[in-house]
Amino acid sequence: MSNYYFPKGFLWGTASSSYQTEGNNQNSDWYIEEQLDGMKPGPERRLNGPCGIACDHWNRYREDYDCAEELGVNIHRTSIEWSRIFIEEDQTDKTALEHYKQMLMNLNARGIKVMLCLHHFTIPRWVYEKGGLENRNYILEHFKRYAQLIVRELGEFVDYWLPVNEPNIIAINGYFSGLFPPYRKKPLQYFKVLKTILQMHLAAYDIIKNDYPERPVGVSFAFLHFQPFNHKNPIDRISTKITDRLMNLILLEGINGGRFHFFHRKHMNLRGGKQKLDFMGVNYYSTRYIKGMHPIKSKSGDIVTDMGWIHYPKGLEDVLQYLHRNFSIPIMITENGVPTGNESERIKYIHEHLRVIAQAIENGVDIRGYMHWSLTDNFEWDMGYSMRFGLVHIDYKTQQRTIKEGGRWLAKIIRENSIALDP
């Protein structure tokens, strides 16, 4: 059996987000929508229950970081809840800021590097009430103030920055498929919102670089991999290309070169948008088939996760090759993981994806780290608590944490900095 050894200094990490784990975030758009949703009769509900106290990470972060330390990670990706810091447009909560400082310092003290995200899907209630991402000038102005405050107060504890998580998913789920607040299905709004998010990234980039020019700033991008349902069908092939452009490429090119265009016709030129990205964060889970104009999750014979997504490590290979060809910046895997209650499946999934990463590094792709989604089980947005992505199991009744078999398996890989290349 041959083994692959990852480069010295390879970053091994876990990822999580504030809203999904902290609990009691009552000042955000999601909280408002969850309350309204709960009042609707069963069939009309869109969400799988409210977030509630989630993993109570706000109070139990030390226990979670004990687990991270036990797993042996050298980096942890987390986020700040904007709505906890700015409780009103002009009112900040100093206690919450201090609390975040303690959390980050706790990671620092354990020798675990911090990758900090400023915006992971949720926005404060008062921004939501003013139109949220559709009110471009307003959200930009206030996002900048928030970014300035966090950089000033917490910047010294942060090693890597992510201004926004998954710009494409925010826009797709909020404005195209209507799965996330504000539940719109308006393609034109989708483009408008994409541009707003891009501008939020660019503005925060400048703010961070102004104080910390050496700290890398990236984006964690949801690489939605698509393939024709039937490779021989020209309609499936063409709509796969269109979907890819619509959901991935326009934004990727915008972030990379500052130009936002569809099918090579320039729509907008974002001034100063050039090279405001020090690394590309890859969030990769699965692929989707495109049949006619419709996405299809799986075919018979596919191995399917609890979410209905298929195991498709080849998609990650394609993404890494695309980035290698088109981007000349380092890559970090900022999310990869599997919702399952079956630990053999988790181990198989992680192993297959790590093998792809190992092979890509061997082929010259500059990949600096792997952050597994997620450290603990947590609130999976519209799916509620039904999905278990964690390396650490959470008993939601007792809040007890237990490292899963998959977690122990990954801990060994991390310790040895190496994986078996054979299945």
Measure Cα distances from 53 to 20, 28, 104, 128, 346 in Å: 9, 14, 21, 22, 26
- Cis, peptide link before residue 374, omega less than 30° from 0: yes
Between 317 and 356, how does the x/- string for binding to ligand BGC read (CB under 6 A)?
------------------x---------------------
17 in contact with ligand BGC (CB under 6 A):
yes
Give the interface segment with ligand BGC, choosing from 99-107, 108-116, 156-164, 165-173 (CB under 6 A): 165-173
- Report the Cα 316 to chain-centroid distance in Å: 15
Q: Does 236 bind ligand BGC (CB under 6 A)?
A: no
Residue closer to ligand BGC, measured from CB, 79 or 239: 79
Among 116, 127, 194, 222, binds ligand BGC (CB under 6 A): 222
Q: Please say whether the beta carbons of 182 and 132 come within 8 A.
A: yes
Judged by beta carbon, residue 37 or residue 335, the one nearer ligand BGC is: 335
Q: Which is nearer to ligand BGC, 37 or 166 (CB)?
A: 166
- Of 163-171, 198-206, 241-249, 266-274, which segment contacts ligand BGC by CB under 6 A? 163-171
Residue 161: enclosing H or E segment and its boundaries? strand 160-164
380 binding ligand BGC? (CB under 6 A): yes
CB nearer to ligand BGC: give 56 or 380.
380
CB under 6 A: which stretch of 164-172, 238-246, 258-266, 315-323 binds ligand BGC? 164-172
- Joined together, the tokens standing for residue 183 give 């539940």
- The answer to whether 22 and 28 are in contact (CB under 8 A) is no
- If one asks whether residue 79 binds ligand BGC (CB under 6 A), the answer comes out as no
Helix spans in 87-132 (H): 94-109, 125-129
Which residue type sits at 167? Answer: P
What is the closest distance, in whole angstroms, from the C-beta atom of residue 335 to ligand BGC in the complex?
Answer: 6
Looking at beta carbons only, is 338 or 361 nearer to ligand BGC?
338
Q: With CB under 6 A, what is the number of residues at the site for ligand BGC?
A: 10
Stretch that binds ligand BGC, among 5-13, 28-36, 162-170, 293-301 (CB under 6 A): 162-170
Determine which residue in the list 34, 166, 345, 377 makes contact with ligand BGC, applying CB under 6 A. Answer: 166
Q: Which is nearer to ligand BGC, 20 or 298 (CB)?
A: 20
Q: What is the distance between the terminal CA atoms of the chain, rounded to a whole angstrom?
A: 10
Name which position in 165, 168, 287, 336 contacts ligand BGC (CB under 6 A): 165
Distance in Å, CB of 8 to ligand BGC, minimum:
29
Residue 248 touching ligand BGC (CB under 6 A):
no
Nearer Cβ to ligand BGC (17/298): 17
Under 8 Å between Cβ of 124 and 181: no
* Residue number, 165 or 239, with CB nearest to ligand BGC: 165
Closest C-alpha among 208, 241, 212 to residue 226: 241
Indicate the residue type of 282. Answer: V
Contact pattern for ligand BGC over residues 275 through 304, marking x by CB under 6 A: --------x---------------------
Q: In this structure, what DSSP letter does residue 382 have?
A: G
Q: How far is the CB of 229 from ligand BGC (least distance, A)?
A: 23
**E strands present in 218-315:** 218-222, 225-228, 259-262, 265-269, 279-283, 287-291, 294-296
Least distance to ligand BGC, CB of residue 280, Å: 15
Say how far residue 253 (Cα) sits from the centre of its chain. 19
Helix (H, G, I), strand (E, B) or coil at 192: helix
223 near ligand BGC (CB under 6 A): no
Considering only 67, 169, 252, 411, the residue that binds ligand BGC (CB under 6 A) is: 169
Instruction: Enumerate the H helices of 176-309 as residue ranges.
Output: 187-211, 234-244, 250-257
Q: Tell me, what DSSP letter sits at residue 311?
A: P
Q: What is the DSSP letter of 7?
A: P
Report the DSSP beta bridge partners of residue 393.
402
Strand order of the β-sheet with 75-79 is 160-164, 113-119, 75-79, 11-15, 367-373, 331-335, 279-283, 218-222
Chain residues that interact with ligand BGC, rule: CB under 6 A: 17, 20, 165-166, 169, 222, 283, 335, 373, 380
